Amino acid sequence: MRLPLSTSPGPIGVFDSGYGGLTILSKMREFLPQYDYLYLGDNARSPYGSRSFEVVYEFTLQAVEKLFEMGCHLVILACNTASAKALRTIQMNNLPLLDANRRVLGVIRPTVETIGAITHSRHVGVLATAGTIKSESYPLEIKKLYPDIMVTGKACPMWVPLVENGEADAVGADYFVEKYITELIGQDDRIDTVILGCTHYPLLLPKIKTYMPDSIQIVSQGELVANSLKDYLRRHSDMDAKCTKNGTCRYLTTEAEDKFAESAARFLNEEIKVERISLE
């Protein structure tokens, strides 16, 4: 039987399948340093990108429930695949049963909102996991706000494994970075803006910049999501009051602690303490 959720204020939960959400978390901590954060990476089951809708939904719901149980009132899915495949169902079907006063937010909407002001050609590319591309979330959300924008998506199934396995800077990564960028531009040569629609991809940014034509603007999500969270907390003072503010950050992983600590330290440029948990 599920224990009742605590009503005391708690940290902001940040969830990703693995390390990618750290690119979002570090911007949140930069823009909103006063808050407490609880980061959860489901590294043992990452990547999510090639998994079915049902499995991504099931895993994401387990993570959200765990973060609620650990005191979070607000959870950010710092993962496009989870935002594309699980967010809406969790908001509509699960939240009312778990606790209608808690909130789960994603990363796709804040990204899409900014696009209209960036593209001049009105041709936008999206690089993301196979799951996010297949869900059509980006074209659907962009069309709602900017019906004149033409969206072309390209799945990059090798990029998350490169990042998760610490090979983002390796020479071997160049082949796959160049391949997907060339294929995307080959589909529509009028693209002037490319969304990195996966939170792992900023870790490949030095290589992505090498192969992306200079005329194309690269949009990564960290700042956009952090700004949108800042705005959300300003507009929702009731939720803001439920978020503790001691400037701390706690890290949880479903894989080995030392493995996470070593890889995360590379991304965050700091030593961190990590706790292992189980979601099953």
User: Minimum distance between the CB of residue 163 and ligand DGL, rounded to whole angstroms?
Assistant: 8
The residue within the footprint of ligand DGL, chosen from 43, 46, 60, 253 (CB under 6 A), is 46
- Residue from 10, 13, 41, 47 in contact with ligand DGL (CB under 6 A): 47
Query: Could you give the string, one character per residue 215-254, with x where binding to ligand DGL holds by CB under 6 A and - elsewhere?
Result: ----------------------------------------
CA atoms of 200 and 244, how far apart (whole Å): 27
Residue nearest to ligand DGL (CB): 49
Active site residue 198: yes
| Of positions 5, 74, 112, 160, contacts ligand DGL by CB under 6 A | 160
Does the footprint of ligand DGL cover residue 49 (CB under 6 A)? yes
> Ramachandran region of residue 269, left (φ > 0), alpha (ψ -120 to 50) or beta?
left
- Tell me the torsion sign for CA atoms 91, 75, 204, 49: negative
Residue span binding ligand DGL (CB under 6 A) among the ranges 74-82, 142-150, 185-193, 237-245: 74-82
- Report the residue from 111, 129, 137, 253 that binds ligand DGL according to the rule CB under 6 A: 129
What is the SS3 assignment for the chain?
CCCCCCCCCECEEEEECCCCCHHHHHHHHHHCCCCCEEEEECHHHCCCCCCCHHHHHHHHHHHHHHHHHCCCCEEEECCHHHHHHCHHHHHHHHHHHHCCCCEEECCHHHHHHHHHHHCCCCEEEEEECHHHHHHCHHHHHHHHHCCCCEEEEEECCCHHHHHHCCCCCCCCHHHHHHHHHHHHHHHCCCCCEEEECCCCHHHHHHHHHHHCCCCCEEECCHHHHHHHHHHHHHHCHHHHHCECCCCCEEEEECCCHHHHHHHHHHHHCCCCCEEECCCC
Site for ligand DGL in 164-223 (CB under 6 A): 198-200
Beta strand 150-155 with 249-253 is: unpaired
Q: How far is the CB of 68 from ligand DGL (least distance, A)?
A: 21
Asked whether position 132 contacts ligand DGL by CB under 6 A, the answer is yes
Catalytic residue (one of 79, 156, 243, 249): 79
Location of structure tokens 């009051």: 241
CA neighbor of 273 nearest in space, from 264, 256, 255, 261: 261
The yes-or-no answer on residue 249 being catalytic is no
Q: Which of 10, 17, 115, 153 binds ligand DGL (CB under 6 A)?
A: 17
CB of 167 to ligand DGL, least distance (A): 15
Task: Tell me whether residue 12 or residue 160 sits nearer to ligand DGL (CB atom).
Answer: 160
**Which residue number, 14 or 160, has a Cβ lying nearer to ligand DGL?**
160
Q: Is 16 in the site for ligand DGL (CB under 6 A)?
A: yes
Exactly one of 72, 156, 198, 243 is catalytic; which is it?
A: 198
> Of 13-21, 108-116, 208-216, 222-230, which segment contacts ligand DGL by CB under 6 A?
13-21
> Could you say whether residue 81 binds ligand DGL (CB under 6 A)?
yes
Contact residues toward ligand DGL (CB under 6 A) are: 16-18, 20, 46-49, 79-81, 129, 132, 160, 198-200
Query: Catalytic site residues?
Result: 79, 198
